[in-house]
Amino acid sequence: MIALKDIEFRYPGSDFCLRVPEMVVARGTTVALIGPSGSGKTTILNLIAGILVPDTGHIATNDVDLSRLGDSARRAFRIQNIGLVFQEFELIEHLSVLDNILLPCRITPAISLQQTHRDRAADLAREVGLADKLRRYVRKLSQGERQRVALCRALLLEPALLLCDEPTGNLDPINKAHVLQILFDYVNRHDTTLLTVTHDHELLPRFDETIDCQQFHASSEAIA
Ligand code: ADP
Ligand code: MG
């Protein structure tokens, strides 16, 4: 379960203020996060992931109160429990497809890279149609291929929670349908909680719930 309670968050030196009195997402639920640009969708994902820390309030992610963890514990928790697909993919251009998918194993001392990880990375790449590109540098891939690499990386450690920031935003209709199929197949098979930012209102019926982030957006003046 994810639970946000009495959250306030501001970026230093910015007017933007996010206020979430309450938001609860039950385990295994799929949620579409909608709202205009600048309404705080990415900020909410980063708060749930523990990348950002709220000024006030509590966030429980998979029933763990992130505010009780220090920076390194929060980071280790994130890598082990949360699959993240970022808006800009955040791949490493000079590494191969395989090495990008394996990154979660490389960036935390809590996990040591095993052959099982390599096998799983290859299986995932095959599922998304990248089996023949495992050794290729990411900088030589198309946008659709990059997005699929980002998805494989997010699924490597079989996370119970998936946070995706416009995962189909840069894709043509065929790639979009493909990425969504992979995402929902995974979620249905693993009883995963999924939060996805999307601007595509045609997709909303595929999700259990829709949350409009505009309601959480308050200017500093409105608070004062
Ligand atoms: P969305 O994802 O809905 O487009 P964001 O969560 O990215 O919105 O941003 C919400 C607001 O916070 C915007 O006004 C944006 O300019 C501001 N913002 C985002 N990131 C930062 C940052 N690192 N520092 C200062 N302001 C930021
Ligand atoms: Mg955003």
Digit-coded pLDDT (tens) for 182-219? 899 999 999 899 999 999 999 999 999 999 999 998 86
Q: 218 CB less than 6 Å from ligand 1?
A: no
Mean pLDDT (the chain, rounded): 91
**C-alpha 154 – ligand 1 centre gap (Å):** 23
According to DSSP, the β-strands at 64-65 and 56-61 are antiparallel
- State the pTM of this model: 0.92
Digit-coded pLDDT (tens) for 38-95? 999 999 999 999 999 999 999 999 889 988 899 989 988 999 899 999 877 889 999 9
Q: Output the domain CATH number for residue 118.
A: 3.40.50.300
**Which one of the ligands is nearest to 52 CA?**
1
Q: 14 CB less than 6 Å from ligand 1?
A: yes
Domain that holds residue 41: 2-223
Digit-coded pLDDT (tens) for 211-221? 999 999 886 55
Question: What is the rounded average pLDDT of the residues 137-161?
Answer: 93
The count of structural domains within the chain is: 1
pLDDT at 221: 53
Q: Which of 192, 170, 174 is nearest to 183 (CA)?
A: 192
Q: 46 CB less than 6 Å from ligand 1?
A: no
**C-alpha 39 – ligand 2 centre gap (Å):** 8
Digit-coded pLDDT (tens) for 83-133? 999 877 889 999 999 999 999 888 877 788 889 999 999 999 998 889 999
Measured by CA distance, the residue closest to atom 14 of ligand 1 is 38
**C-alpha 42 – ligand 2 centre gap (Å):** 4
**C-alpha 197 – ligand 2 centre gap (Å):** 8
Protein residues within 5 Å, CB atom, of ion ligand 2: 41-42
Surface-to-core class of residue 115, CB atoms within 10 Å of its CB (0-12 exposed, 13-18 middle, 19+ buried): exposed
**C-alpha 92 – ligand 1 centre gap (Å):** 23
Distance of CA 171 to the CA centre of its chain: 17
